[in-house]
Amino acid sequence: MLPLQKNTHRGRERHGEEEREKQMFGLCLMEASDKHAGLPASRLTPDSGFDPPHQSDTRTIYVANRFPQHGHYIPQRFADNRIISSKYTVWNFVPKNLFEQFRRIANFYFLIIFLVQLMIDTPTSPVTSGLPLFFVITVTAIKQGYEDWLRHKADNEVNGAPVFVVRSGSLVQTRSKNIRVGDIVRVAKDETFPADLALLSSDRADGTCHITTASLDGETNLKTNFSVAETAVCQSVSQLEALQAVVECQQPDADLYRFVGRITVTQHGEEIVRALGQENLLLRGARLKNTKEIFGVAIYTGMESKMALNYKCKSQKRSAVEKSMNTFLLIYLGILLFEAVLSTILKYAWQAEDKWDEPFYNQKTEQERNSSPILKFISDFLAFLVLYNFIIPISLYVTVEMQKFLGSFFIGWDLDLYHEESDQKAQVNTSDLNEELGQVEYVFTDKTGTLTENEMHFRECSINGVKYREVNGKLAPEGMTDDSPDGSTPHLTGDELLFLQAVALCHTVQISYDQPDCPVGGGDPFSHANGFSSSHMEYYASSPDEKALVEAAKRIGVAFTRCSGETMEIKTFGKSEKYKLLHLLEFDADRRRMSVILQTPSGGKVLFTKGAESAILPFTTSGEIEKTRLHVDEFALKGLRTLVVACRHFSPEEYIDVEKHLNAARTALQQREEKLQEAFAYIERDLQLLGATGVEDKLQDKVQETIEALRLAGIKVWVLTGDKHETAVSVSLSCGHFHRTMNILELLQQRSDNECAEQLRRLDRRIKEDHVIQHGLVVDGASLSLALREHEKLFMEVCKNCSAVLCCRMAPLQKAKVVRLFKTSPEKPITLAIGDGANDVSMIQEAHVGIGIMGKEGRQAVRNSDYAIARFKFLAKLLLVHGHFYYIRIATLVQYFFYKNVCFITPQFLYQFFCLFSQQTLYDSVYLTLYNICFTSLPILVYSLFEQLVHPHVLQNKPGLYRDISKNSLLSFRTFLYWTLLGFLHAFIFFFGSYILMGEDTTLMGNGQVWPFLHTQDMYFVFVQLLSSGSAWFAIIIIIITCLFPDVVKKVFYRHLQPTSTQTSQMYSNRVAIGDDFIALQPLSRAKSQLGKIR
């Protein structure tokens, strides 16, 4: 919105400030060094051999690694410049991966079962548990190894990038990973910095350079960095080679905005000490802009760079399906233990009779007769546990992981989620949350750059109480058209000209020339309409608003054309005017305004200031204050972003007083920030109001339709923004978040807890009284803080009864707090956060599902998100179609896995009643092994990747279908119980159906041959022989029909009497699909009429 960064034009106070800062930084560093090294400050010189230990507060860096030549010096050890984002190495992959996999309950359980099979005599071979376990572990290890290989590959690309380093008097090309602390590195225009560098010099005479830190903090504005005067002159390799300098600074920390250090330069035997601050440090990952080349000394390298220290391990997000899955596993573990205990007890009950305890055909050995009954009971219990252990589906985890991993490709392949203009497709950063897209109940969205384009266009302004619009590059009062002939110089009044000069000068905009070889001073590249041409010049601004205003002033005729050192130049209709920048009063979030103090061409001193209307209007004493206030409110109601512009002319005496206050504050060694705030407040008063500006941030395409679709799907949408509430409400109305018929409630400007509580109670009563109509709530950041502090439950009650909520003037952490508030509420709804800037990262990481917009505010949000899309409109298909499909597929997959294992192992349990609980297995070992691995896993995996219950177009056109799967309905306990009972029913039918149909028929093979496997207990060729028998086929068909009949009857009954919306739409989509196929074969005229009938 307003500049947050210091500008190149620091003003005359810079040198005086440096002299005092160096003393403060130097004293801090010396005290820290003395404390750890035990050396007096007077002896702390670059050549004293001082080497603070690594755990000290400081590090000493010799520029170009020119170490002291005496023998006492031992160089400090620093990290190399390799970036490591991978998890494993070749040496630790196997132990580390195995440790992580066996932390899973199911894997650890099967490992125990496998070990039990090895240790005691069990009815099944250890291979039956060991092989599936080996398969699951191997597949998971391959997947995780592949993902880590991709990370290694990305690391190698970064670490192997070519860089230029000054070594042995020449510029040497090497790889990024070979940079050492102390190396002098050369970086060219548009390259990223390979390490954290202290700027030594640039191709500019003043030693400054411009950078963008979009990849670090999401800010796309151009920032200015400085070098100290003693190194700024070293612009060649030979000069840098001769440079003798030592940098002392703090140890690395993660704070991007803090750096404390000093540089000692030795010139002609004299040591010159200069302070180093954040403006001298070039951070790794930032990009050099608008500067041909720079030289810097490496301060922090590799994993000690500030970017690496800001790598945040995102907390592991677990989907609702995974939580349900773990619950079901515990229930089935209970069933397993129950069956094992029951079988063990029944075995001993049965063996109470002597004839069954030791029958003639199975005499006990002496050791068995003398063994401990307790040990035998435990051994039998473990044997039954092994026999029934396949009720726990071992391959469930690996199949689910494969389904999620392979299924995630469909998002990237979806052409409907591809944005052609920016050539960006949807991106999946984690596949673990695919099904969560189908369970979202709350969407928390940013406004700027997410609902809007973040492309600012100047629309209107108010000058001295009169509203103006831009018409054909000229200012026209409201209601008037521009009738002046093209090419003529427009006439501006004094007020209009002063206003445009303020807009053209009060900023931190930088200029880049597209043709650097074209001399700016020689010739006049600005000869066009209004005296300018934009072909050679491009503005880099601290915010899109600022850039839009400077460009608008240029189009109208007052162009900012050059900034160098302390000089700012503008051209008013071709006439050049030079202003001297005396002081820059930087923007900060508390003041919410920024100012410049200039010396005009005539020698006068003037202050121009701009900021939010609440930060400017209270300090104005002249001008059309009330009219401008009305105009600002009108601009805000139209959805425009507003700024107010004012000025103050100083007399010579007043300016001397102002400079005294500023210098005193800027050179203070203690409480400098507070004193600067007091000085700024003293200067920015008694202002003359010049006017206000209105800049439009255009809505993204199809935002209104997307929000409406989400609302119809039962999803509540919250907009969280930092804008003022009038602008935010206007945008909410224009994008359909608020309806015109909606009753808008406000919780704004609450000053105390009691006042906030009373207002919340009033809103609650009003909602209950007017429960028929829809309500929308507007909250500002200050009121929200009060509401969350003491009245959380009441606030939640009000919010839940509102159809839409808008939070304005929100800080980034407040956004995350709101999301956490709903995540942890008793209902525990599934939340989704979507944003495009670094200020949205905390909210994106806090929500169950985080979505980044590939916008204009850097890639921070995208990198920290679970999914990334190019436009907000793609959210509808991502949730309503992909989310719907993913949830139904994974829910069916999970339920089927438990069902099939119940079907498989229950006959084993029933068989024990027919074999005196002798722990005989019903299945061959090979069949036991392959049942879970491929016989039943692969078909359901294919189903769970491609199944589409309803046509995607129907899901998108009927958002209400999303409600059918909400609140994890397909994995509810009732549904789980139905699938489990169905499994037991089918198992009984399998077992007793086979027993009844085939149990008495020993001549089943049709050729008089008895069962072929009775002699060997092997099942080789059994299926081949069975399936050549007509009676076997008859039995299979009868059993299958008997199993499916109850389920089919139930489904038909419910579909006709109580159909869900999805089932109704299935019939509709089938009609449309059949109709489309039929229509495709008709002549064009007949096809149109057929289509009309079906639609």
Greater confidence (339 vs 1058) lies with 339
Query: Cα-flanking dihedrals φ and ψ of residue 4, to 5°?
Result: -110, 0
Is residue 510 within 8 Å of 224, Cβ to Cβ?
Answer: yes
The 3-state DSSP class for residue 918 equals: coil
Residue with more model confidence, 13 or 566: 566
- Which one of the listed residues 446, 723, 836, 924 is annotated catalytic? 446
- Using 50, 70 and 90 to split pLDDT, how confident is the model at 341? very high
pLDDT at 607 over 90: yes
- Nearest residue to 461 (alpha-carbon basis) of 557, 546, 552: 552
φ and ψ at 201, to 5 degrees?
Answer: -160, 165
Q: Phi-psi category of 121—alpha, beta or left, where left has phi over 0 and alpha has psi -120 to 50?
A: beta
User: What's the mean per-residue pLDDT of the chain?
Assistant: 79
Judge whether residue 413 has pLDDT over 60: yes
In whole angstroms, give the CA distance from residue 609 to residue 881: 50
Whether the per-residue pLDDT at 94 is higher than 50: the answer is yes
Percentage of residues of the chain with pLDDT beyond 90: 17
Cα–Cα distance for residue pair 387/910, rounded to 1 Å:
12
Comparing 414 with 510, the larger pLDDT belongs to 414
DSSP string, 565-584: TTEEEEEETTEEEEEEEEEE
Contact assessment for residue 84 and residue 303, using Cβ atoms and an 8 Å cutoff: yes
User: Tens digits of per-residue pLDDT, 274-289?
Assistant: 888 888 999 988 889 8
| pLDDT band at residue 528 using 50, 70 and 90 as cut-offs | very low
Residues 6+ apart with CB under 8 A from 420: none
Of 872, 873, 850, nearest to 862 by C-alpha is 850
Average pLDDT over residues 548-576: 87
**What is the per-residue pLDDT for 860?**
63
Cα separation of 331 and 105, whole Å? 13
CA distances from 231 to 266, 750, 1094 (A): 11, 53, 79
Strands (E), 541-653: 558-564, 567-572, 575-585, 593-599, 605-611, 620-622, 640-650
Q: What pLDDT, in 10s, does the model give residues 854-870?
A: 866 556 677 778 898 98
State the pLDDT confidence band at 1070, using cuts at 50, 70 and 90: low
Residue 1086 pLDDT class (50, 70, 90 cuts): very low
Contact 520, 513 (CB under 8 A): yes
Mean pLDDT, residues 574-596 taken together: 83
Confidence of residue 188 (pLDDT cuts 50, 70, 90): very high
C-alpha radius of gyration, the chain, whole number = 37
pLDDT at 695 over 80: yes
Query: Considering only 11-15, 52-56, 102-106, 257-261, which range has the smallest mean pLDDT?
Result: 11-15
The first and second tokens of residue 410, run together, are 């469909």
**What is the separation of C-alpha 624 from the centre of its chain, rounded to a whole number of angstroms?**
45
Using the predicted structure, report yes or no on whether residue 812 has a pLDDT greater than 80. Answer: no
pLDDT greater at residue 17 or residue 503: 503
Q: pLDDT (tens digit, 9 = 90+) per residue, 208-220?
A: 888 887 666 555 5
Strands 804-808 and 775-780: parallel
Residue range 912-920: mean pLDDT, rounded = 83
Upper half-sphere CA count for residue 223 (Cβ side, 13 Å):
23
Name beta bridge partners: 511: 539
The better pLDDT of the pair 728, 993 is held by: 993
* Per-residue model confidence as pLDDT tens digits over 421-435: 888 889 888 788 888
Q: For residue 268, is pLDDT > 70?
A: yes
Tokens describing residue 875: 């959210």
Partner residues linked to 716 by β-bridges: 442
Residue 299 has what pLDDT? 93
**CB-based contacts of 49, cutoff 8 Å, min separation 6:** 68, 70, 72, 73
Residue 158's pLDDT is: 83
263 within 8 A of 245, measured Cβ to Cβ: yes
Q: How confident is the model at residue 144 (pLDDT cuts 50, 70, 90)?
A: confident
Per-residue model confidence (pLDDT) at position 518: 39
> Does the pLDDT at position 132 exceed 50?
yes
Q: Is the pLDDT of residue 30 over 60?
A: no
Above 50 in pLDDT, residue 382? yes
Amino acid at 676: L
The rounded distance, in Å, linking the Cα atoms of 898 and 904 is 10
Considering only residues 315 and 70, tell me which one the structure prediction assigns the higher pLDDT. 70
Q: What is the pLDDT of residue 776?
A: 87
Predicted pLDDT at 370: 65
Paired strand residues for 202: 294
Alpha helices in 685-752 (DSSP H): 703-712, 725-734
446: annotated active-site residue: yes
Predicted local distance difference test score (pLDDT) of residue 832: 93
Q: By the 8 A CB rule, do 836 and 865 touch?
A: no
Distance (Å, rounded) from C-alpha 762 to C-alpha 767? 9
pLDDT of residue 690: 93
User: Residue 217: its pLDDT value, please?
Assistant: 56
Per-residue confidence (pLDDT) for residue 853, from 0 to 100: 87
**Within 13 Å of residue 958, how many CA atoms lie on the same side as its CB?**
18
Cβ pair 208, 190 in contact under 8 A: no
Quote the pLDDT of residue 49: 33
Query: 794 or 1028: whose pLDDT is higher?
Result: 794
Between 192 and 357, the more confident residue is 192
Where is average pLDDT lowest: 1-10, 246-255, 442-451, 638-647?
1-10
pLDDT at 536: 66
**C-alpha 74, offset from chain centre:** 44
Tell me the mean pLDDT in the region 712-738.
81
The pLDDT of residue 401 is above 80: yes
CB 608 within 8 A of CB 584: no
Q: Which pLDDT score, from 0 to 100, does residue 219 have?
A: 57
The residue-averaged pLDDT of 1051-1055 equals 86
Distance CA 121, CA 425 (A): 57
Q: What is the pTM assigned to this prediction?
A: 0.69
Mean pLDDT of 937-964: 88
pLDDT for the residue 19: 42
